[in-house]
Amino acid sequence: MPALGTRVTTTTQDKYLPFLVDQVLGSNVLASRMLRAAKKWSGNQIRFPVKISKNSTGTSFSGFDTFSTSATNNRITLDYDPKFYQITVALPLDELSANATDSKVLDLAGIEIQTAAHDMADDIGTLFYADGSGNSSKDFNGLTNIINNTGTIGGQSRATYSVLNSTVTASGGTLTLALMQTLYSNVSSGSNVPTVGYCTEAVANFYEQLLNPQERIVKDVAMMKGGLAGGTGFTALYFKGFPILADEKSTTQQLAFVNEDYLDWYGLALALTEPVKFKSQDVRGNDYSSLLGLGFSFSGWIKPSNQAAVVGHIYLGGELVTSAPRFMGRLTGITGV
């Protein structure tokens, strides 16, 4: 039985609020920061020349001592190919026609594109913590591969070039400040220090338990790496001057220290597409509501030859790359304090 009687329900129009509330998607911190700070892809590959050994021909001398005339080869390149991801948006023309009336509250086509792009960004957030091997290695690169001491990075073998290794330390189940300090020291060199830590909310809560009450100071962190404000941002506790950010997409039981000076998303716009533009007021309840664009593109509406419908595809091209994985590390197996 309705809360109000038929005297009201037969004489009063229902009210639909002009926005959609997302009850599904959660936080997506790493992807939000990377995609908002996208760098433009150029060429068929992104290539980083990196130094992998010292020139060892230096020597003290006197008089007519002879010197080495050997050439040294102490550089290689880390090479990254672009990868691509898509999500489909499909609508029947009868629904679009019914929506195009005076009773329209939200634009059906617009809201479908926006929410599909949000869903796609959510997918990307999961990939950014994985190892890039999914779907026959078509998936984007992720922190599990970037912060590693096995396998390959940028097409180069870490078994051959140990300088490409990150620090991966088993916590033994317990998070301690001593473990965090050791990890910090192992991934730091001079002014090259971690700029952000990523972990699940559970691990962030463990870290908070390690702090004295007077140390539990929460500060705002920009949604975009590099400190440019955009949206409401995130809140975080700090360690050694950098924020520890809780991300629901983060790998469970892990705490990753990342130097974002050496971690970038390079975006490649797909030809013959148009940028996806969001109206942030249309969708509420997730981290994407204040993200404008994300660098995604849209194919435009395609009309099938045998259906009264339209189909479109949202694309994202590029790769998550690093030029110095040695400045990053992670603690694994964290289950308590």
Residue 56: CB partners within 8 Å, gap ≥ 6?
72
**pTM, whole model, 2 decimals?**
0.87
pLDDT interval class at 26 (50, 70, 90): low
Using CB atoms within 10 Å of the CB of residue 108, give its burial: 0 to 12 exposed, 13 to 18 middle, 19+ buried: middle
Contact 141, 134 (CB under 8 A): no
> Distance between CA 125 and CA 33 in Å, rounded?
10
Region 258-273: mean pLDDT is 93
pLDDT tens, 45-73? Answer: 999 999 999 999 999 999 999 999 998 89
- Of residues 263 and 297, the one with the higher pLDDT is 263
End-to-end C-alpha distance for the chain, whole angstroms: 52
Looking at residue 17, its pLDDT comes to 44
What's the confidence (pLDDT) of residue 82? Answer: 95
On the question of pLDDT at 40 being above 50, the answer is yes
| pLDDT at residue number 19 | 46
- Sign for the pseudo-dihedral over CA of 94, 96, 98, 101: negative
User: Distance between CA 66 and CA 265 in Å, rounded?
Assistant: 49
**125/26 Cα distance (integer angstroms):** 10
Q: Which one-letter DSSP state was computed for residue 145?
A: H
Query: What pLDDT digit, counting tens, does each position of 300-329 carry?
Result: 999 999 999 999 998 999 999 999 999 999
* Lookup: tokens for 327: 């400045």
User: Which residues, other chains included, contact 44 with Cβ-Cβ below 8 Å and sequence gap of 6+?
Assistant: 81
Residue 104: the pLDDT is 73
Confidence of residue 8 (pLDDT cuts 50, 70, 90): low
Q: pLDDT value at position 25? A: 54
Within the chain, residue ranges assigned H as helices are: 6-9, 29-36, 93-99, 108-127, 134-137, 143-146, 177-186, 201-210
| Nearest-10 crossing angle of helices 29-36, 108-127 | 110
Calculated CA dihedral for residues 206, 212, 214, 218, nearest 10 degrees = -10
What percentage of the chain has pLDDT greater than the value 90?
A: 63
What digits encode the pLDDT tens for the residues 121-168?
Answer: 889 999 999 999 999 999 999 999 999 999 999 999 999 999 999 999
Q: pLDDT at residue 112 above 90?
A: no
Q: Higher confidence at residue 297 or residue 155?
A: 155
- The answer on pLDDT for 229 being more than 50 is no
Q: Is the pLDDT of residue 238 over 90?
A: yes
270 against 284, higher pLDDT? 270
Highest-confidence segment of 71-75, 77-81, 103-107, 293-297: 77-81
What's the token pair of residue 324? 């110095």
* Mean pLDDT over each residue of the chain, to the nearest integer: 87
What local confidence, expressed as pLDDT, does residue 231 receive? 46
Q: Would you state the structure tokens that stand for residue 293, as one six-digit string? A: 């664009």
Listed residue (294, 326, 324, 309) closest to 121, CA to CA: 294
What local confidence, expressed as pLDDT, does residue 10 receive? 53
Lowest mean pLDDT among 113-122, 158-167, 227-236, 268-277: 227-236
Q: What is the mean pLDDT of residues 285-300?
A: 66
Q: What are phi and psi of 267, to 5 degrees?
A: -100, 140
Count of C-beta atoms within a 10 Å radius of residue 311: 14
Q: pLDDT digit string (tens) for 212-226? A: 887 787 887 876 776
